Structure 1
Amino acid sequence: MSELKIAGVYAPGAPVQLTGRLDSIDFSSVSGAWNLDLTVSSSNGRSLSVAEKYSYTSSYFGETACNQTAQALMPAVQDLIAKVVHAPDFPSLLK
C-alpha cells in the first residue's frame, strides 16, 4: 500500500478492491532461480493468475549463493507484479 501512496494512485474509497494470494514460492540457490505464482482477485469477481521464473547468477560457495538468493527476491517480486499489471486481462479487474 505504501508504494501505491508514494505513486499517488492509492484510493481508499475506490469502488474495486484487489487482493493477492501467493499460490507458491520456491527457490533454488543451486540453479539460481526464484519461482513465484500469484493470483490477483478483484472485488468484481474476476481474477488473474501469473507466474514468474526469475533467474539470477548463483555461486558454488554456500554463503555467497544464499546472499545472492536473498538479493534476487525483490527484483523477482517486481517482475511478478509487472506481469500482473501488463497482463491483457488486468484492466478487467478494475471495472
Structure 2
Amino acid sequence: MTEEELNARFAALADDASGPDPALVGAVTLEVNRCQPWWRRVGTERVASLVGAVQFVRATGSLNPADPAAIAAVVKASGLRGRRVHQLAWKVTTTILAIEEWESRVR
C-alpha cells in the first residue's frame, strides 16, 4: 500500500463521525495519566488522536508495540508532534491491547 493510499484511507476514517469509542478513550486517558507525573498530564484530545491512529494502523496492517515501525505509523497517523509522542503512542497502544485482552478473558 502506497503512502497516498494510506493517507486517503486515514482521511476516510477521520471523516467518520463516530470517531474512537469515548469509553475506550476515557479508559486509556486514565491509565496514561496514572503513569505520568502531575505536571505532564495528557489531554483527552491527544489520547483520542492516538486511539484513532491505533485503530487505523490496526485496520491497515499488524500492530505490534515492540515494532518501532508500527509505533512510528501510529504517530504519523495521529498527526501529533512533540518530544514524547513516540513514548505516548507506545503507552496508548499497549494500554489498548491490554484492555482488549482483559475484555476477551472476561467474556
- Is TM more than 0.5 here? no
Bigger proportion of residues as helix: 2
Bigger proportion of residues as strand: 1
Q: TM-score, normalised by structure 1?
A: 0.30
Of structures 1 and 2, the larger Rg is shown by 1
Q: TM-score, normalised by structure 2?
A: 0.27
